[in-house]
A and B are shown apart, each in its own frame.
Chain A
């Protein structure tokens, strides 16, 4: 089955700096890669996603890049703000709506 690894497990950045979180996956058949933000005591919220026919996608301060050959994808947050502090999870699946394989999470702290 699919195995998703996520790094780093914790990340601290100064407000205004960029944050990058990286994930690798093992199954080349995976073709959908969402990213979720989870605040303490809440459910995960979808923040951005990318399909395997696209190499990069951007939504304001958030971007995701995908390298299918290397089987890795990354989340980039620019101009970080304290409200970006949360746990971020990457996931991979064969198709949307199917089982998601989650990474282990990255706890991001943005220092004011």
Chain B
């Protein structure tokens, strides 16, 4: 149990385009989903927290207009990187949690912006 999937697992796009990453909790309903960014050999950096049906809460320094987060259902959250640039290239990881329970992480999405 407690499986979280992400799609796609990797994506290459041209500078200026938008990319959507999906995060799904496959066998449980996630009241909260989290989006992280991870640079090579570094820890996870929380970007935003989203609760189903509510607007996401972004961490300081994260541009909400650039990283659009939608949590439309208890099993799906999406992160859209708008007008992507090479500096947005990174490993993006989501996690999902039920109320009062731990976070389970997805396998990550590697984004390369050319």
Contact = CB atoms under 8 A, between A and B. Distances in A.
Contacts of B34: 99-100
Range of interface residues on A (Cβ < 8 Å): 20 to 34
B97 interface: yes
B107 A89 contact: no
Given A89-B43, A105-B43, A41 B102 contact: no
A61 interface: no
A34, A36, A43, A44, most chain B CB atoms within 10 A = A43
Range of interface residues on B (Cβ < 8 Å): 20 to 34
Q: Chain A's interface: helix, strand, loop or mixed, by majority?
A: loop
Nearest to A101: B46
Given A46-B102, A97-B32, A97-B97, A41 B108 contact: yes
Nearest to A45: B105
Interface string A46-70: 1001000000000000000000000
A96 B95 CA distance: 13
A34 B102 contact: yes
Interface of A: 32, 34, 36, 41-46, 49, 89, 95-97, 99-100, 102-105, 107
